[in-house]
Amino acid sequence: MKKVMIVDDEILIRENMRTCVDWEKEGFHYCGDAPDGEIALPLIEEWMPDILITDIKMPFMDGLELAAVVRKQMPAIKVVIMSGHDEFRYAQNAIRLGVEDYCLKPISAAELVELLHKVGRKIDEEQQRLKSQTVTKERLLADLCGGLIGTGEAIECAKELSIPLSARYYAVAIFDIRPAEVAEPQEPRVMNGLREAMDRQLVPGIDRLSFMRSRTELVVIFKGSSAERMAECLRQIGLELRAELEARFGCDIYTGAGSVQERLQGIHVSYLEAEEDKYIARLKQQNKAAFGEADESARVDVLVDRAAFLDFLKVGSPARLETFVRDFARELQPLHWTASSYGFYLLNDLTLEAFRAAQQTFRTGFDPSDGIGRLQQAIKQVATWEDCVQYLCGLLRELWRWRAEAADKYGDIIKSVKDYIVGQYNNDQLSLKVIAQHVRISPSHLSKVFSQETGQTLTEYLTQVRIGKAMELLKTTRRKSFEIAFDVGYNDPHYFSNLFKKITGMTTKEYRNQGASEVKEQARSEGRMA
């Protein structure tokens, strides 16, 4: 709803205009009034009305002076000049000041409503025009990945920008280009080569949308009609395409891929997973480089069956843990654990592979940056082969906890999240990230699990709780709508009012009046029964 403020030195005029219009019903919010321009100015700066209706003839500061100041300092406010003097020169001066309209007193309720809607439509048209000018393809895709735009708004923006957004499945991949040290910057050449190679390798039925997140990072949203083809596309791009470009341009490319999602909102989940995957991939490649530079004097070439270790991670049992690890690690016995850092790099590389496999297979909510850093500190403490065995056993146990988490129904987590939201719904800073920190799992995993287990998104549940509380306050208190908006966690009363009507089908005033009618009817019924 658009805010309206009235400035007039006649109190009867102000009161009549305030009471003659059902402001909420007409889609406006009457934020207040003032008796002259001098008193009005600080109130205008505080309330920031969308429409300012001001009389011309007032003491201290008249309407034309006020309009001039407002147009200069707050040009977004639409000013309407009102006067009882039917003199053309007033209209001329008002037009020169760029006011929105000019009307004569007295003005009827119908005329006032017509005037407000006329100005309101112009505000909407300007905002829509500004929106179409500022929303770009890059911003839309970035907002989708960041979870900053709803499904309806995203589809509407995509239509305005002629972007084919709708699809059966979505997945996100991130490419981080790290060029070699050369005199000329080569990121543009690598990015162009990346796009060309990607177009060649796209399997039939898969399309892509992309945007540059930074000078060296390309984010790609894949969309298609087959989940299997999407998964194959991500595999090819993550392995074959990266190797081709690294060989061609002599640079390092870190890639990360998220899971295939069925809903547009799932792009955010896939993006967060791709970020985690890229983090592990970058650590793994950096470790490989350091691996090759390990102290050759104390190095012993060893071969371990990494595939067997990863298979045991996925399907192994605790009963066979000790036996399997000792057999697997037998080849590591000749390593000089204290004389060289070679053993550290080897275990670190195996740990990173296990983390990546766990992330892709279990899709659990662990935070790789926290877990990997902690395990790397544990690797540094390995001084003997027996320490190595115990470390690998601990690694598998930790990853198995995540495997068990993936198999659970997450009942305790969902309950904890709902309880936290019910307790914190009035916090306007409540977000997916804050809630995820409370339950100690990653935002992407929480978003995915909550949606799968409850059939609604976290945002939808939070909105349900907030609007439910607002309905309760409207029935049980006399607090104004804008006060209730703040009480339930919305710092924008207009957004709250629109959302309330969208969900309940009624304005806050209509809902409150309906509640009062129900109470009166119940009282009459109880009186008849008595």
Domain residue spans of the chain? 2-133, 135-280, 294-407, 411-529
Lay out the sheet containing 252-257: strands in order across.
Answer: 206-212, 217-224, 169-178, 252-257
Q: Does domain 135-280 have CATH number 3.40.50.300?
A: no
DSSP secondary structure letter of residue 261: B
Say how far apart CA 458 and CA 437 lie, in whole Å.
14
Say how far apart CA 464 and CA 450 lie, in whole Å.
15
CA angle 398, 404, 405 (to 5 degrees): 95
pLDDT digits (tens, 9 = 90+) for 324-333: 999 988 888 8
What number is the average pLDDT over the span 38-55?
A: 88
Helix (H) or strand (E) holding 455: none
Homologous superfamily of 2-133 in CATH?
Answer: Response regulator (3.40.50.2300)
Phi and psi of 411, rounded to 5°? -60, -45
pLDDT digits (tens, 9 = 90+) for 18-43: 888 889 888 899 999 988 888 888 88
Least confident of 143-152, 185-194, 348-357, 403-412: 403-412
pTM of the model: 0.47
Contact 54, 82 (CB under 8 A): yes
**What pLDDT score was predicted for residue 422?**
93
Q: Does domain 411-529 have CATH number 1.10.10.60?
A: yes
3-class secondary-structure state, position 6: strand
Instruction: Return the residue matching tokens 């904890």.
Output: 416
Say how far apart CA 232 and CA 37 lie, in whole Å.
68
Say how far apart CA 66 and CA 48 lie, in whole Å.
14
Contact 428, 491 (CB under 8 A): yes
Nearest Cα to Cα of residue 362 among 354, 370, 350, 352:
354
| 297 token code pair | 């004097």
pLDDT digits (tens, 9 = 90+) for 68-94: 888 888 888 999 988 776 555 666 666
In the chain, count H helices and then E strands: 23, 9
pLDDT at 527 over 60: no
